[in-house]
A and B are shown apart, each in its own frame.
Chain A
């Protein structure tokens, strides 16, 4: 435990205090004195990246497995080792965390740093456009996302075009994890404009079918199953239409929005699609909650969307907690925030669980992250501290 004397506003001093090996109390008391004298220490710190260790009271490896009082070894931005038996060498940089350590949260639809740049009204079909070129890396949306524990986000083009473009998968430090995420389509009424072709559902389907007949580019990739799709659809008839369309063309990917998707679970399961839901607020309809639980019961993977987050709103965690409150099992809820979301985002080889070889995109929580009383304390992205410091 960090001594009470070190709970001062100076985060640097607190960090340094945390580095001191807990087994030698006298050494710690001496170092405390030195701290006030010389803020900059020669001992290795976690801010510098490189190799360091985090010892936490609880490490959530994934939706099922937990390691109590384990250690994560981080090197070159990746997890080198994790477990109870990880040896921490003498003098190594160690961060003691009296709380829970997990993989960073994954948002499957966000609009970070890309206000008004993700929707182009001039063309209904803009499939080749890339969201990766639409965001500002230094935007405050990223620090807000980090404050919610989000380390990975799918930057999805708007639902207001029938084919909005190709999504990008970002890290919330502003870097690009995958430049080509999904071909983003929309069969919502927001994509059907009064003054531009197509104006209707039959027109949109016809335009998409013509585009999918192409033998090169993103459309050919999507038709061949090489590039997954995201399809925005809201009421049940739009969901049914989108699922039938995806199945007809052998498309893989996920529906986005679809609040009552669970009522069409058998069709969605037959089409082998996933679903991106929410975000949910406190006033969410119980029927929508029932639908989420039904998706889980049908074995359909789902994840959550976060609108460009408001400070402190924590859309992903709130959505998951509401589902758990309604009866969703915790393991599925956690996977919806992390590993299933990473799979939907197409980056599950790199993020989504705390496992050897994966990126050190980690969050240190004050307690159980599915309990809304807990808070994000520190966030690491690629082994670098991106938020917090306690």
Chain B
């Protein structure tokens, strides 16, 4: 790894400074120049670097390589450093108030309009190592709207935290979109829109297929256009990935058949607990997968069963996949420990690291900015007390955009 001259100058400046010297670019003690020394640096952009250091300045990585540092001043010294973790299914939302249920298909809405950036859950994610997360509408709709990729800490407003607005179009298969629908009993009067909403997998799939069908029909007849049709067109062109929740085998199949019927270039199958049951279909489709967090009995939603070796199987097949944590309130449910479960199922450390860093960044096309420790990328870093992802290691420090969110000096 090449360390830029400027970065080296910073490193030398920091190391030769006495303990009383003021740090460079200090602003309210937040965004500063840091030199972070690690016994092992995992960059997700090559081999791990032993006894390396990362230089952070102006919120980006100024340099990374072996050596550097020297003690005192603005140095942070830890056992291991990885890029900040990226969760494509963090599930922090305002629940049913984030999705407009009066229509089942709502491609024109954005979850940004219903986001609570003040929620303590973001802070919890940040302090557990997730530095970037995809916020999605709650899956009460067949198509709920677009999701937004944002940093988990920083300014208390959405604009400054946004990495990518309209990052994906979100939909859901399975039972969740029909959970809050009501049967219209024979002879009874429909009271409200809930009796119109789908009640079975058939009608959920029908609505998904109808939406794309109508978008194609609107190309010939503009009278058939609808609100948010531009998002469907973006999905059909491949400019906007479609993220579909599909836990169980039949729902994964449904998602892939939809992709193939309409030639959707980018499909992300979220919470694909039973992906391990459909290897050929996944390879054939070219879809990407986001795996849910492991549960103590392997049971997921919709009676799905999540096998231990799921991640390793997908890796062997060459299916792009990411791990996710669903914003769990339990430490073992969060993203930082998911690689450990994947490794238990046979996945290599390198592949597990990629599944929570560079791969999710690549799936959303933001890998030029985040996902690995390389010069010029955002200074989103996780500092560990030992080998990352081991149950015996802790996240002791987190930086987001060069700001220290969790301080290793007070948490070690």
Contacts and interface: CB of A to CB of B under 8 A. Distances in A.
Given A205-B113, A206-B109, A200 B99 contact: yes
Interface string B87-101: 000000010111111
Contact of B116 (A192, A196, A235, A267): A235
Interface in A188-218: 189, 192, 194-203, 205-206
A237 interface: yes
A240 interface: yes
A81 B191 CA distance: 62
A202 B102 contact: no
Interface in A268-316: none
A198 B111 contact: no
A121 to B, nearest CB: 12
A198 B113 contact: no
Contacts of B194: 194-195
B114 interface: yes
A192 B115 contact: no
B110 A240 contact: no
B191 A195 contact: yes
Contacts of A200: 96-101, 109, 114
A240 B98 contact: no
Contact of A240 (B101, B145, B157): B157
A237 B116 contact: yes
Contacts of B145: 202
B114 A202 contact: yes
A68 interface: no
Interface in B106-124: 106, 108-111, 113-119
Contact of B113 (A192, A197, A199, A241): A241
Given A200-B96, A201-B94, A236 B109 contact: no
B117 A240 contact: yes
A201 B112 CA distance: 10
A198 B118 contact: no
A198 B192 CA distance: 12
B226 interface: no
Nearest to A189: B97
B113 A201 contact: yes
B152 to A, nearest CB: 15
B193 interface: yes
B102 A199 contact: yes
B114 A236 contact: no
B102 A198 contact: yes
A336 B199 CA distance: 53
B109 A202 contact: yes
Given A189-B97, A195-B191, A206-B109, A201 B114 contact: yes
A194 B181 CA distance: 11
A206 B111 CA distance: 12
A203 B101 CA distance: 9
B117 A237 contact: yes
Contacts of B102: 196-199, 203
A195 B115 CA distance: 22
Nearest to A197: B102
Interface in A226-269: 235-237, 240-241, 267
Contacts of B191: 195
A97 B99 CA distance: 60
Contact of B101 (A189, A199, A201, A206): A199
Contacts of A201: 94, 97-98, 113-114
A202 B111 contact: yes
A386 B399 CA distance: 64
A388 to B, nearest CB: 45
Contacts of B111: 202
**A192, A203, A240: most-surrounded residue (chain B CB, <10 A):** A203
A192 B97 contact: yes
A145 B348 CA distance: 72
Contacts of B117: 237, 240
Contacts of B192: 195-196
A202 B112 CA distance: 8
A200 B95 CA distance: 9
A196 B194 CA distance: 9
A202 B98 contact: yes
Contacts of A199: 96-97, 99-102
Given A195-B193, A197-B100, A240-B156, 10 more contacts: A195-B194, A198-B100, A199-B96, A199-B101, A200-B96, A200-B114, A201-B98, A203-B109, A235-B116, A240-B157
Which 3 residue pairs are nearest across A and B when measured between Cβ atoms?
A203-B100, A197-B102, A201-B114
7 contacts: A199-B100, A200-B101, A200-B109, A203-B109, A206-B108, A236-B156, A237-B116
